């Protein structure tokens, strides 16, 4: 943008941001003004409104961090023209083959296949333990007389067999998390162990359906799930796992609400099968646009187990739900574990939790009372303040 104006030199650049995961927006200006009656706050507001018309979805995502930078290095109009004025938008690069491979390599480096138990079964076996010959005459049979040979009388051969059981021991393999999985790599927000933290705080969760986003950049959280299920008592609390990748490498223009695909379900309690399903879903995904098919995956999990008590959704806080319009079809409480929410909580997931009678879970907080909020009431999550308006959570800036 030019000095002292809200027009945009390059509005076409916004097209390159469609479908991207936006992280941060900076508004940059200089504090020098030629007239005392000039209002910098009004100009800043006009500049943001200009941006809103081009990219309204940017303002709807409460997970985006906003900052304002005021520069003071110029003292007249001409020198200020050399300074940058405008808006800087930071976004995640769309995953490519190299970055997806790096994600998967990291995942493989943090899980180890080991013998976790032994399956002992018994095979029935019989063995001849005694052989003898019976006399022809009934009177001799009744007296218990036996012979060593058939002889010329062709005595009847009697074979005595004993039955016994031989144990057959087979190793049962499973996946366990290495030490690296318990301390994920540094990401955008530092060390984020939100999945383990939330599960460890909520030990009373039982009969769960775990639904997890395994798209790009989620590998630090998938390994935490592996670390959690490696403990047998934890796996017993889960009825099934559902992993989704938003379409199995499908082109963005072929992703339709409710039928995007890329969803993998398993009701096994064996960690090898669970990790295998997770790995398959990860390998078949290829990034793509930012919104994910969370609700489609939740509805599939419920259809597979309609008697489940609750859904645990492990979601990417930075990505919206492409199928939020299907929200009314969910008839179970959804407890959302938000990954990457260190600087802000995505209001779409708060709406999901409130509408289903569920809850929101971050590294530090468990918010169970969202469904009790009435229209117009406010709630504080971390450092952000939200107001309920028309069923939505509106961030108060």
| CATH number of the domain that residue 339 is part of | 3.40.50
Helix axes 271-284, 97-110, angle to 10 degrees: 170
**303 lies in the same domain as 227:** yes
Could you give the residue ranges of the DSSP H alpha helices within the chain? Answer: 40-54, 57-60, 77-80, 97-110, 138-142, 179-182, 194-201, 219-229, 232-235, 271-284, 294-304, 347-356
State residue 107's pLDDT score: 76
Whether residue 5 is contained in a domain is answered as: no
**54 lies in the same domain as 190:** no
State residue 177's pLDDT score: 59
**157 lies in the same domain as 285:** no
**305 lies in the same domain as 219:** yes
**109 lies in the same domain as 78:** no
Range of the domain at 320: 97-114+175-395
The whole-number mean pLDDT for each consecutive block of 10 residues of the chain, a chain of 397 residues, reads 92 85 92 90 94 88 88 92 93 77 75 70 83 88 87 85 81 64 50 87 91 87 84 80 92 89 91 88 78 95 92 94 95 95 89 96 93 92 89 85
**255 lies in the same domain as 327:** yes
State residue 262's pLDDT score: 94
Domain count, the chain: 3
State residue 167's pLDDT score: 79
**185 lies in the same domain as 49:** no
State residue 182's pLDDT score: 53
**87 lies in the same domain as 103:** no
Whether residue 161 is contained in a domain is answered as: yes
Whether residue 147 is contained in a domain is answered as: yes
- Between CA 380 and CA 387 the distance in angstroms is 9
Q: What is the DSSP string of 175-207?
A: EEE-HHHHSPPPBTTB---HHHHHHHH-TT--S
**387 lies in the same domain as 296:** yes
Looking from the CA of 290 toward its CB, the CA atoms found within 13 Å total: 19
**335 lies in the same domain as 258:** yes
State residue 16's pLDDT score: 86
State residue 348's pLDDT score: 94
**269 lies in the same domain as 370:** yes
């Amino acid at each position: 943008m030019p000095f002292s104006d809200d027009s945009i030199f390059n509005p076409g650049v916004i097209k390159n941001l469609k479908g991207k995961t936006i992280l941060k927006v900076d508004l940059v200006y200089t504090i020098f003004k030629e007239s005392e009656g000039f209002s910098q706050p009004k100009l800043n507001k006009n500049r943001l409104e200009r941006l809103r018309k081009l990219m309204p979805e940017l303002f709807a995502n409460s997970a985006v961090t906003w900052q304002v930078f005021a520069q003071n290095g110029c003292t007249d109009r001409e020198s200020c023209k050399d300074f940058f004025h405008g808006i800087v938008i930071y976004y995640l690069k769309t995953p490519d083959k190299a970055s997806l491979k790096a994600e998967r390599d990291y995942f493989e480096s943090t899980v180890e296949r080991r013998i976790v138990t032994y399956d002992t079964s018994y095979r029935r076996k019989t063995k001849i333990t005694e052989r003898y010959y019976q006399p022809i005459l009934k009177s001799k049979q009744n007296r218990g007389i036996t012979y060593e040979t058939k002889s010329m009388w062709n005595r009847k051969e009697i074979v005595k067999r004993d039955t016994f059981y031989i144990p057959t021991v087979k190793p049962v393999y499973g996946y366990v998390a290495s030490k690296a999985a318990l301390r994920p790599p540094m990401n955008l927000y530092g060390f984020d162990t939100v999945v383990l933290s939330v599960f460890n705080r909520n030990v009373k969760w039982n009969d769960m359906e775990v639904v997890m986003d395994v798209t790009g950049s989620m590998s630090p959280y998938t390994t935490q799930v592996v670390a959690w299920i490696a403990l047998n008592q934890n796996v017993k609390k889960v009825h099934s796992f559902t992993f989704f990748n938003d379409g199995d490498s499908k082109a963005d223009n072929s992703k339709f609400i409710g039928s995007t695909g890329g969803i993998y379900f398993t009701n096994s309690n064996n960690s090898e099968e669970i990790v295998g399903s997770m790995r398959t879903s990860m390998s078949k995904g290829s990034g793509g646009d930012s919104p994910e098919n969370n609700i489609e995956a939740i509805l599939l999990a419920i259809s597979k187990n309609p008697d489940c008590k609750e859904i645990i959704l492990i979601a990417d806080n930075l990505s919206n739900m492409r199928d939020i319009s299907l929200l009314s079809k969910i008839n179970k409480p959804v407890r959302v574990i938000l990954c990457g929410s260190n600087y802000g909580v995505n209001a779409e997931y708060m709406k999901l939790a409130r509408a289903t009678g569920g809850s929101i879970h971050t590294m530090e907080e468990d918010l169970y009372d969202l469904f009790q909020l009435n229209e117009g009431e406010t709630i504080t999550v971390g450092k952000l303040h939200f107001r309920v308006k028309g069923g939505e959570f509106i961030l108060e800036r």
